[in-house]
Structure 1
Amino acid sequence: MGSHAAAGRRRRRPVVFGALGATLLGVLFCVPSAGGAPVSADACRTAGSALPVGDCGPFWQVLAEDFDGDRVPLGAFSDCDHHADTSAAYCGGLDGSYRDNWWAYPTGWPDTAGDRGRDVVGVYHPEDTVSVGPAADGDGRMRIRMWRPADGGPVHASAVVPRAVMQMKYGKYSARVKVTEPAPGYKSAWLHYGGGCEMDHPEGEWTGPLTAFHHPCGGGEQGAYPGAGSWTDWHTVSTEWTPGHVRFFVDGREVGHDTRGVPDRPLSWVLQNESALEGPGAAPGSSARLEITWVAAYAYGWK
């Protein structure tokens, strides 16, 4: 349900694992522990607040970013129109590991609202919406602060892309997120998109609940899956995409599962944040902020 473009190719190292049997079944579905308490249905048990590190089940970790010790000021996510939408894409204003690992939709690209006839639309501006730095307690975070100019111009939107998983087929994608400053008119649609296929999680207006959507390849009724809780609380969100299956998790609880028209082609993971597609538009002079304390991603493979 977002503004999308096809990304370039990038070969990924395959995962090699042995027979999974009952072990994999136990982590893919919510089962009771020996003491009777529920165990996370997430394959990596990523229900808590800590960044998961290491491989799990059929997934090989290729990205573990906690943003600790790093500072990326406003302005650094600039000059991003280099090899756009390919695995060679980069932002000229970044350096070091952030230049290697992150890209953003370039300044001037329109967001989804422009195609929906909305009165208030957005334009991507990573240079004045994205930064990285510590919170008051020292926890490193990526901050997405979208805003609308006081003169009533377009919303300054932001879509950031982890380069390690651009154009990767299948995988697991997790993050811990919270909207720390909500306002009407702002939303997210973190997605995989391409070739008539789309998986969105999490998605929704920042003043409402978390939701996931699956738009089957080739058409058909979308799957819509309400999440657990609101954007204004901390949540761990995960998408697990395997052959013939897509599963959505919030805090370790499976909130959606679809087998219809699941993508079987490489797609990029886009952390897309933009102007709202429903309800009131962002007011002139308003702003809203999302914080991300960690991001983790995994490749999927087999013998």
Structure 2
Amino acid sequence: MRPLLDICICTCRRPELLRRALESLSQVELPDTVRVSVTVVDNDPEESAQPVIRSLQGSYPLPIHYAAESRRGIPFARNRCLDEAQAKGADYLVFIDDDEWVAADWLQKLYSFARDAGGRAVVCGSVISLLPASSPDYYNMFFSRKRRRTGERLPYCATNNVLIPLGEVRELGLRFDESRPFAGGEDVMFFTAASQRGMAIFHCAEAVVYEDIPEDRANLRWLSRRKYSVGITQAHQKLITGRSRVDVLASALLQLLTASLVCALSMTVRRQRERAWLRVCRSAGMAGGVFGAESQFYRRAHS
């Protein structure tokens, strides 16, 4: 029997974006050597995604399954995806976000690379962010990801476009950390742990998904909160990988001092000033993380 690949989407109170993501999946080119299904895990207690799934069932070209996860927080939803995929007997789990849509050849590229790599590695693809027309041109640098070559091995990745071999996940006993449900970054911690335990993580640049950045995120206030949260997560990540608190704190404070100085010297150049300010926010988050600060960045999405 051909392997089963389950595409999972976690969602919370974004039914129209979810519908667009599912419509893009309905038009994707399917690899001949694998079976494909779709799972939607709804993290909204009011189950706002269920009408979307009901409207598609019967006409959707792929088997589609709906699951409601009542425990509030992204890691609970992601672990539910693991559970649902394993209950189906899936060999691979693919994550995309509910505010993304995929290129037609996305899955072909992602799975072909995974198969050619031996079928036991994590494979992450590219995410292209599209900003509102009203955003300054230089805001692209705040949302763009580092460009990586196909085949590059990574120490970690995220769940916004990734294929995971479930056999290896079971062998290693990997789960998303549920101790900080609204902080974000548990995907980075998950893949960091996978890498430390010997699982290879590769990049496939040709496997592309897209995301629209809404106007309420394309601003300095949102970016500042986000960078502070990222800093906290980076501190936690460094600490669990063996860095000492003194080392992490010293690094954070040095970065904070440098970024603050650049920010002060760039008061007349908005682009440079805002870039330096976001570095201030991230390094401040790192320092806070060393002292036990916890991020609640994603609580608003679940309140």
TM-score relative to the length of structure 2? 0.25
Higher relative contact order (CA 8 A, sep 6+): 1
Q: Give the structure with the higher percent helix.
A: 2
- Larger Rg computed on CA atoms: 2
